[in-house]
Amino acid sequence: MLVSAIEVYEVYKVIRRDVSEERAVEAVSALRRATIAPVDEPLALEAADVSLAHGLAMADSLVYATARRFGARLVTRDADFEGLPGAIVIR
């Protein structure tokens, strides 16, 4: 399993805000079982191109660019990825 470093941020933030810091830390611990892909300059530039081409927000474009870099499918519940190659949106 592959996880973008941006997803670690998003999961921690939302769970800490909506549930508790303890649960957020537990969630991040679970994510650490996966390969965490860092954001570097080439990925940031690719994500900017993705954002411009598909109208994605910064975090979403970084997550999508990460999946593309590693040839991974992006599985998400976020409808913003609907119709993008390699993205599977679960409803």
DSSP secondary structure string for all residues of 23-60: HHHHHHHHHTTSEEEPP-HHHHHHHHHHHHHH---HHH
Stated pTM of the model:
0.89
Tokens of 63: 């997550």
16-68: pLDDT as tens digits: 999 999 999 999 999 999 999 999 999 999 999 999 999 999 999 999 999 99
If residue 10 lies in a helix (H) or strand (E), which one and from where to where?
helix 5-18
Q: What span, in angstroms and rounded, lies between the C-alpha atoms of 59 and 5? A: 10
